[in-house]
Structure 1
Amino acid sequence: MTTSSRYYLFLIFLLVFASVKAKNIPIRQSGLIGHSIAEFIPEGFDASLVPSLMLQKEPVIKKALPAGWHIVPEFSFNEGKASAVVHLQGDISLYGGGEVTGPLLRNGQTIKLWNTDNGAYGTDGGKRLYQTHPWVLGVRKDGTAFGILFDSYWKAGLKTDSKAIAFNTEGALFRVFVIDRKSPQEVVKGLAELTGTIEMPPRWSLGYQQCRFSYASEQQVKEIADTFREKQIPCDAIWMDIDYMEGFRVFTFNKTNFPNPKRLNNYLHAKGFHSVFMIDPGVKADSTYAVYRSGSAKDIWVKDVGGREYHGKVWPGDCAFPDFTMPDCRDWWAGLYKQFMATGVDGVWNDMNEPAVNDEALPKDQRLGTMPYTNQHRGGGSLPAGPHLLYHNAYGRLMVQATRQGVMAANPGKRPFILTRANLLGGQRFAATWTGDNLADERFMKVSVPMCITLGLSGQPFSGPDIGGFLGNTSPDLWAKWLGFGVFLPFARGHACAGTNNKEPWAFGGAVEETSRIAISRRYRLLPLFYTLFYNAHKTGLPVMQPSFFADPKDLSLRDEEQTFLLGSNLLVVPSFAKEPKLPAGKWEKISLVDGEQSDPYQAKLLLKSGAIIPAGNIIQNTGEKSLETLTLFVNPDSRGNATGELYWDSGEGWEFNKGNFSRLKFRAKKSGSKTILHVVAHEGSYPINEQVAHLKVIVLKDGKEYSETGSLKQGVLVQM
């Protein structure tokens, strides 16, 4: 059957169901597909019409639901639109929904799932943003939890109130997956079992990064890099926005301002920087442009409802759009990266991939901000032909899949780093994300915390905002406040829009420059902790940045705490803007990483959990330097004098860690009279970490005081208290 035939059968399917006007749809099949993970399939579900791009593999029902399983969705289909409702019993705290504004606690919230280019999008909830995550996490009073994944990326609304969770789509019937486990952490792990985890990122991508729309020339990029090094402010990456291109044509370089990208990248590499370049999906419709010609020759562009090549206006003017539902198109797109990456480009930034289209010339009631819903995607492989209404929310996800394929093929020995604006639940397998075109405003600074926490609870651990705010001018006070905690978000990048003031760390005067140096240096000292947490996220799906209620899911007072957050499970971050935050119970001790931080009012407080050990390294200027020359372990013994912790480390690049070339150390501290003894109690992997660690320093925290001693990994450390 041809793709066009399948497309029209699809439309007939919708029309038939619309004419029937069926309301309640019975469940055709249900059962367990994994540990406490249930699948529910309604009558009339056709996998060829609603293919899953969220799941990492097709699930198989292995056994019947256990007696007493009570979270069961109710399906309906009305006028061609499928819905599912899950009724709730008792007091449930609801979270999730992916990239959302508004509060962390999602009870009483409604969001539209339709990826949209929405700059300065507001902070009060309900706004359409750039990504689609049809997922809800529920936490009961006793700390047990459940999660619901609605396996559809049709245009939809998601409503979460105290009595029910409702998911209403504009498309065909879909499956629902329910995870019911003993804790929210275990539920998030279950989500990762369904949708996959991030790949281990290159270590440089965890460093601080600097961007502007746009650094206008090769010379300006060099000056930015030189200033970071001259001022001893750590940084690992400089970003190139669209002005590096020739007339905004993707995969090209401006002959005047960026005439020799390989020379620029070599310069950056020599100074310990990496480079990230933007690539949008819109391809200038220009018969003299090689990328457009090659795409046209392969007939891979999205078509309109009449079968003609669709053109929409983006930065270059009239553009054609790759139809990423087609395997041939993804292969073609991937192939474009070989020559591009050969210039020394390290990372790729996919933007405008909702896809965004400038249709402001149309009357207001006809503006969509994207391509027409009736445009045709031809599909192929496991994907059916279908309208843009079906594939819109998956467009960015399919684009970054193709991008990752190309970057991997171009540099198979390196770990790709890809950042995307648009994505779909499960798309964390292909790209990191940032929270889009925010505003230089204190409200956006504050909402960036629950936004990134929620992304982590929705399967995407690698996220962060534009620190300082992208749109509008940033004040010195706002920059300092934002950077003071922003350096502890998983993705840490300063960014600025064209026409706004400079937003590099030195742009706000000497005092804020020193604040910036301290803040960024604190992130680099915690690089061993960040790297360990990213490895755990890669293996388990647990987020790097976690809500404070994860410290005690039974503590109801923490359920709506959205000013503070945890790094992993042991380090609590309290931003300077936080007013009367609700802190987890227990003996949390303050740690100090960099001289001057305690007297700087903009720095976030860092509190270490009782019974925990976390690793820290040296202050370095980039991740290519020796972070572990002195490995510091901060220890906060529990009431019995015990504490545990771990460190993961490898080369920071490449795939040898998959063959065992890594080190995973587990530490244990025990009280012995007035002393604390710390030992390495387990060592997994063959990476020669002893060659990296020249000195081991242990700092024991007790009642606001520090007790320290040095030693070695092999012999352990004895700290007199």
Structure 2
Amino acid sequence: MITNTELEYKGNLYPNRVVDYVRDKDKFYFTSENGVILEITVIQDRTVRFRYATENNFQPDFSYAVDPDAKRGYNHLEILETNTEYIIETAKLQILVDKNTLRNQISDLNGNIINEDELGFHWEENYDYGGNTVKMSKITQPTESFYGMGDKASHSNLKGKRLNNWVMDQYAFGKDQDPLYKAIPFYIGLHSGQAYGIFFDNSFRTQFDFAHERRTTTSFWADGGEMNYYFFYGPEMYKVVRAYSNLTGVPELPPLWALGYHQSKWSYFPESNVKDIAKQFRDLQIPCDAIYLDIDYMDGFRCFTWDKERFPEPKRMIKELSEDGFKTVAMIDPGIKIDKDYWVYQEAMENDYFCKRADGPYMKGKVWPGECHFPDFTNPEVREWWAELYKEFMADIGVHAVWNDMNEPAVMEVPTKTAPLDTRHDYDGYPCSHRKAHNVYGMQMVRATYDGVKKYVYPKRPMVITRAAYAGTQRFSSTWTGDNVATWEHLWIANVQVQRMCMSGYSFVGSDIGGFAEQPSGELFARWIQLGVFHPFCRVHSSGDHGDQEPWSFGAEITQIVKKFIELRYQLLPYLYTMFWRYVREGKPMIQPIVCFDQEDMQTHFRTDEFIFGEQILVCPVQEPNAQGRRMYIPRGNWYSYWDDEVIEGGKEKWVAAELDTMPLFVKEGAIIPKYPIHQYVGEKEIEQLVLEVYFKIGDESSTVYEDAADGYDYENGKFSLRNFKLLGKDDELIIHQFKDGGFETSYSSFVINFHGLPFEIGKIEIDNEKVGVSEVKLKNNRTMQLSKEFTQLRITSK
């Protein structure tokens, strides 16, 4: 434990000697002589909250990030006192509190230090605004690495970086540019084979220094509010993310169509253009589930209105698109045009729903409609009103999903790009300035949107998209990484950002495939599609001022490549849907950087390109022009090439050939990967057979397939199908056990099983301990068979 030293920063204040200690069930209070109170709360055995007050006074305890349904409870909790420290012990952790300095040290039960204070908590008065600038410094452990922090466009390992959390509209942002559109002040530390996480729940502008200023120190601070952070212990990285996700929440299951391919542009108009795009998809038989309408569908960019010349009958158009399998997604921005004849503006003015400046005038900013006022979404009454605005939009006109953009909030023609800092907010009954509310503004807008969409698409499930986000926004909405650029560097950035977001508890994420700004080449577009179909949210979106960016926009060769990979996504929908189910149920990242997959392998700690899609598919995009392949790192274990079944031993780098029509793609040995037949949109036709791709392994491996009605809420009442498979392989035998749960009856009655890498000729077949003939399972080429979905054990042996 670091001792009390004379180390100080000029102007900072520090806690001194502890003079009082009180325990209140799961809370421990330590008070220093100079009026600092440290409140330690044990949330779970692996999750502990640290909260500091100055002048003996805590601020109101309120958080938008923490899920009201977060699980709490622990198995063991006690406190011991020595001459120099207090020791709090849970079933997983020991927390030492130094009596002279209030500094903390957190260890596992074997005494291995996981995280410890350097200077610890310190603060200085903010003379400009009042309150304190609150700070925390930690010792950077030897070989420590850092991950997470949301959408940062930097190397996946953040060691040596200094980062800033202040959500901003950053059109055509660049590599390492900061801040961006999200403020997710959560990071994962990894050293000595152990992972932990820290979430600094403070909505003011926050900054993090990962051994940038001083190689031995990691620190974080905020311009106001409290020093209030949560510590999560793994020791595995995915358990850290799971604990964070338990605290801040996960989304509900989306409708399956939301995981299909989506097409967007700024903008598709008029109606004839939208219909032409839809027709082209169906004529070329390129699967697509959704078409997006950007701001040009509105009357003068007024939200919740329609341009009657461009879209004379939106209800009819949406119905006709729906009949052809297309969902319609419409944009809604926060800026409400100042127009006395505009009904949304009138309602907001009558009810005093707009944000005001410190001295009383309404906050005003220029956005697409011109001069606008902005609703105060931190006011619950305003959120309820906003949710009701979707009634006609969703229930009558029939819009399927809503896309909230510009909700940082973005303001044009001002240096800050956003609202003035003296703008006032309700903050759910804790009035504050924009300094505190800025980072949660977009979150509260999309929360209100989610409530309205969910209410008015019921009994279907909602689909909502947001650009701005604070920690916890994942409960309400999917997201994308903002206004990127059609460059090879941005392909790399998109890959890193999505991995990082998934490690930050926000898995329903993707990028503007192909780049929003500028024009991609056909090669870049194809390579980006190859990456994008392996992102949870899959949408092409472009600014539209540089040409078309549809799958067929780059010539016949590129069209066929793009079609091939979009079709692959649709085949993998049951695998992707199972990934999402596991994310919702367990908080497990849908995409794992390979350091999360194998943190014990030091070679994975600085890899940016490779990732695990779900549990069992290894993806590595090609990110350079004119490439015929690339070097990549294969994680430990044996992996099958998806394209030719070559088995590759992992734990090393390897050159992998990948011409433009392919990409490095591998399947973990022992995996059972479910597939649907290619279809043009979700629900186009009933699934008659589920294909199971079985990758042989000597040893055992588990796989899961989750299915339900693909929309609606019957799954909450047991109407789901959960199939857990266990594969057991030997030199001359393969056994597959199936364990079933749930009351949902799938449309298919049989499986088609394709064997990969089977090392023997099939001689005997047993299903549920009964011998069956080759003809009964339609065995072909020692590779494919068909059997009832109800089997509980399949056993095949050699001749």
TM-score by length of 2: 0.83
* Contact map agreement 1:617 1:627 (CA 8 A) in 2: no
1:683 aligned residue: 740
Greater RCO (CA < 8 Å, at least 6 residues apart): 1
Give the alignment partner of residue 155 of structure 1, picking from 181, 205, 214. 205
Shift of 1:49: 4.9
2:660 aligned residue: 601
| Structure 1 pair 395–43 and aligned structure 2 pair: CA distance change class (3 A) | same
Shift of 1:582: 1.4
The runs of 4+ residues in structure 1 deviating greater than 6 Å are: 58-62, 703-706
1:633 aligned residue: 692
1:714 has 2:714 as partner: no
1:10 aligned residue: none
| Structure 1 pair 627–528 and aligned structure 2 pair: CA distance change class (3 A) | farther
C-alpha deviations, 1:190-221, integer Å up to 9, x for none? 00111011211110000000000000211111
> Higher mean Cα deviation, 446-455 or 88-97?
88-97
C-alpha deviations, 1:232-256, integer Å up to 9, x for none? 0000000000000000000001110
2:278 aligned residue: 225
Distance 2:58 2:330 in 1: 37
Give the alignment partner of residue 181 of structure 1, picking from 203, 224, 234. 234
* Contact map agreement 1:31 1:61 (CA 8 A) in 2: no
Matches within 5 A, 1:282-681: 282-341=335-394, 342-360=396-414, 367-380=415-428, 383-577=429-623, 579-592=630-643, 601-626=660-685, 628-640=687-699, 642-671=700-729, 674-680=732-738
> Higher mean Cα deviation, 370-379 or 36-45?
36-45
2:168 aligned residue: 116
Shift of 1:605: 2.6
Distance 1:714 1:87 in 2: 56
SS across alignment from 2:579:
helix
Runs of 5+ in structure 1 lacking a partner?
A: 1-18, 361-366
Distance 2:244 2:717 in 1: 26
Distance 1:549 1:702 in 2: 30
C-alpha deviations, 1:114-134, integer Å up to 9, x for none? 1000011101x2421011000
2:51 aligned residue: 41
Distance 2:426 2:621 in 1: 48
Task: State which structure, 1 or 2, has the greater radius of gyration over its C-alpha atoms.
Answer: 2
2:249 aligned residue: 196
| Structure 1 pair 719–650 and aligned structure 2 pair: CA distance change class (3 A) | same
| Structure 1 pair 599–561 and aligned structure 2 pair: CA distance change class (3 A) | closer
C-alpha deviations, 1:407-430, integer Å up to 9, x for none? 122123121110000010111000
Distance 1:209 1:164 in 2: 44
SS across alignment from 1:692:
coil
1:135 aligned residue: 186
1:12 aligned residue: none
Aligned length: 687
| Structure 1 pair 602–103 and aligned structure 2 pair: CA distance change class (3 A) | farther
Distance 1:234 1:679 in 2: 34
Distance 1:318 1:458 in 2: 36
SS across alignment from 2:528:
helix
1:53 aligned residue: 64
Shift of 1:612: 2.2
Distance 1:662 1:61 in 2: 29
C-alpha deviations, 1:598-627, integer Å up to 9, x for none? 986343232111232221111111111347
Letter in 2 for 1:377: H
C-alpha deviations, 1:453-504, integer Å up to 9, x for none? 1000111000011000010011111101111221111111111103121010
| Structure 1 pair 627–522 and aligned structure 2 pair: CA distance change class (3 A) | farther
SS across alignment from 1:30:
strand
2:100 aligned residue: none
SS across alignment from 2:631:
coil
1:29 has 2:77 as partner: no
| Structure 1 pair 435–706 and aligned structure 2 pair: CA distance change class (3 A) | farther
Which structure has the highest strand share of the two?
2
| Structure 1 pair 509–287 and aligned structure 2 pair: CA distance change class (3 A) | same
C-alpha deviations, 1:609-662, integer Å up to 9, x for none? 12322211111111113474221222223333x332110000010111111100
SS across alignment from 1:222:
helix
Distance 2:733 2:691 in 1: 18
Shift of 1:31: 3.8
* Contact map agreement 1:130 1:423 (CA 8 A) in 2: yes
* Contact map agreement 1:698 1:719 (CA 8 A) in 2: no
Identical columns (%): 33
Letter in 2 for 1:710: Q
| Structure 1 pair 502–719 and aligned structure 2 pair: CA distance change class (3 A) | farther
Shift of 1:23: 4.1
1:88 has 2:140 as partner: yes
Give the alignment partner of residue 302 of structure 2, picking from 239, 249, 274. 249
Distance 1:568 1:416 in 2: 23
Shift of 1:22: 3.2
Distance 1:512 1:100 in 2: 31
C-alpha deviations, 1:677-700, integer Å up to 9, x for none? 3331x11110002x3244432323
* Contact map agreement 2:454 2:462 (CA 8 A) in 1: yes
| Structure 1 pair 444–378 and aligned structure 2 pair: CA distance change class (3 A) | same
2:748 aligned residue: 692
Give the alignment partner of residue 155 of structure 2, picking from 97, 103, 110. 103
